[in-house]
Chains A and B, each alone.
Chain A
Amino acid sequence: MSRAADLANDRRPANQGLQRLGWALASLATLVLIWAVASAVAQSRHLPGPGQVFGLVVYEAQTGALWISLAATLLRVAAAFTAAMLIGSAIGLAMGRNPAADKFFDAWLILFLNLPALVIIALSYVWLGPYETTAILAVAINKIPNVAVQMREGARNLSRDLDEMAAVYKLGWIKTLQHVTLPQLAPFFAASARSGLALVWKIVLVVEALGGHATGVGHKIYVAFQSFDVGMILAYALAFIVVIQIVEHTLLQPLQARLNRWKR
């Protein structure tokens, strides 16, 4: 009995997280140092040092331009991400559960997986015009095939054993969906959400620049690029990386850890 109790209370040591943070900080500090040295050696306005870039971040934050751009981009990321997850999951589940649909649409999936982001973006703007929905749709279409592939894998791996257990004990379809089916799909959903966020935010910046939108981080970087203002490009890039990392660590990673907490 005590063995079972010990097993129930088994938790990972808390200082493991601190140790990882230490390594990350040391590694980033080294990168900043290399950057500072390179910039000091180059003495070029095309390679500003870390201090200069950090100053630009602070300046843009004080004028408010940084926050407005970040908010505009984050809204687009959220909309495109949500659309891609919903549509991609629906397609993936349908294909995973229905062999005929899987066989038929597999070729389409491969086509869309290999369609370059630039092509999707260009065609979206040509066909739909320079609107906000075009931006969101173009980004979502880029991500949907990846989500569909991952969710299809999840749907294919649903356990028949557990379905039978649910049937014999007459759990009913609501309890079966909630406690048997969805928990099996959750890890696939979490994995595609994490890889999805990384992909979506990068494509959103491209869309903002190419689509001629007047707001967002992509727009700022595009303007800075036209005057070769490397400092401003780096300032916005770094600010956005920080924001995405905050989303990743405060939302997605805890979500994934929660979904996987039963794993040994």
Chain B
Amino acid sequence: MNVHTSPADIAAAPAVRIAVAAKTWPPVAGRPAHTVLRAVNLEIAPRSFVVVSGPSGCGKSTLLNIVAGLDRDYTGSIAFGAADARLAFIFQSPRLLPWKTVQENIEIVLPDGDRRRANIPELLSRVGLSGAQSAFPERLSLGMQRRVAIARGFVVEPDILLMDEPFVSLDDPTADALRTLVLELWHRHPTTVMFVTHDRREAVRLATRIIRLGGPDATVVETGDNAGGRQSSVVADHDVTLSLDERCSAERLRAEQARVFGA
């Protein structure tokens, strides 16, 4: 299973060009204004699986919301390779419509013309939901609801697929099954993925490229190819032992890394 980005892909125009000069939260209730992102300049190659990692609260989700167009209060620009790029977003919570059945939740995001074309029963069986198509989401477990959200993300055949910690608060086997599922779907429907997580093990497992945000006003502290990491479990095992630095200090992370790897 070779998932390297080929040299041709790298040479092609980026799928997303991110140039966020600054994102600042206004002062709230005595708390001063606070810059979460500064000078985040990235080019995301088409069909790459980019994991944005970094400690909690360092602006990863904010960056994803900016790319999604949900947050327009920033300085800078986001440009997509395709003129009318189709986006999908798999959120941290499933965000399903509780009054719609599983099937309706997936159908609703399709433009009216595409509804017949999309093979929803096949998609449902691929994500392990056959038989649940007429269930209401609140009657399903969280893991099952997440599967519906994943199916909804892939059904629109997005140019850009954004995922914001989509596997939090699941038990390990369930989360791992869903990681496998997402990789399978991604191989079948190649698309550009931006995936946010604070879990370094997850980052190494999924990514073709890892971007780490850090620093007091988070910026890109590290970006690197992860082709080796995905294929070598040794690196992944070492990574598990890394502890996260809650204070977003890139230096400490590097020091810890050096200690673990004995570099």
Residues of chain A touching chain B, judged by Cβ–Cβ distance below 8 Å, are 1-2, 4-5, 7-8, 10, 161-162, 164-165, 167-171, 175, 179-180, 183, 259, 261-264
Contacts and interface: CB of A to CB of B under 8 A. Distances in A.
A7 B139 contact: yes
- Interface majority SS on A: helix, strand, loop or mixed? helix
B139 A264 contact: yes
Given A10-B139, A179-B97, A262-B98, A165 B89 contact: yes
A130 to B, nearest CB: 46
Contacts of B131: 1-2, 4-5, 8
B128 interface: yes
> Taking each of A8, A175, A179, A180, which has the highest tally of chain B beta carbons within 10 Å of its own beta carbon?
A8
Interface string B152-170: 1000100000100000000
Given A169-B88, A179-B97, A1 B130 contact: yes
Interface in B97-144: 97-100, 108-109, 128-140, 144
A171 B109 contact: yes
Interface residues of B, number: 32
B51 to A, nearest CB: 20
The 10 closest A-B pairs by CB, nearest first: A4-B132, A8-B135, A5-B131, A169-B109, A262-B136, A168-B89, A264-B138, A262-B99, A7-B139, A165-B95
A1 B108 contact: no
A4 B129 contact: yes
B109 A8 contact: no
B138 A1 contact: no
B95 A262 contact: no
Contact of B138 (A169, A183, A262): A262
B70 A167 contact: yes
A180 B98 CA distance: 10
Nearest to A172: B111
B57 interface: no
A171 B69 contact: no
B89, B133, B135 — most chain A CB neighbours (10 Å): B135
Contacts of B100: 179, 262
B223 interface: no
B108 A171 contact: yes
B196 to A, nearest CB: 14
B87 interface: yes
B87 A168 contact: yes
Contacts of B97: 162, 179-180, 183
Given A4-B131, A4-B144, A261-B136, 6 more contacts: A7-B132, A8-B131, A164-B70, A168-B70, A169-B109, A171-B109
Interface string B67-110: 01110000000000000000111010101011110000000110
Nearest to B156: A169
Nearest to A260: B99
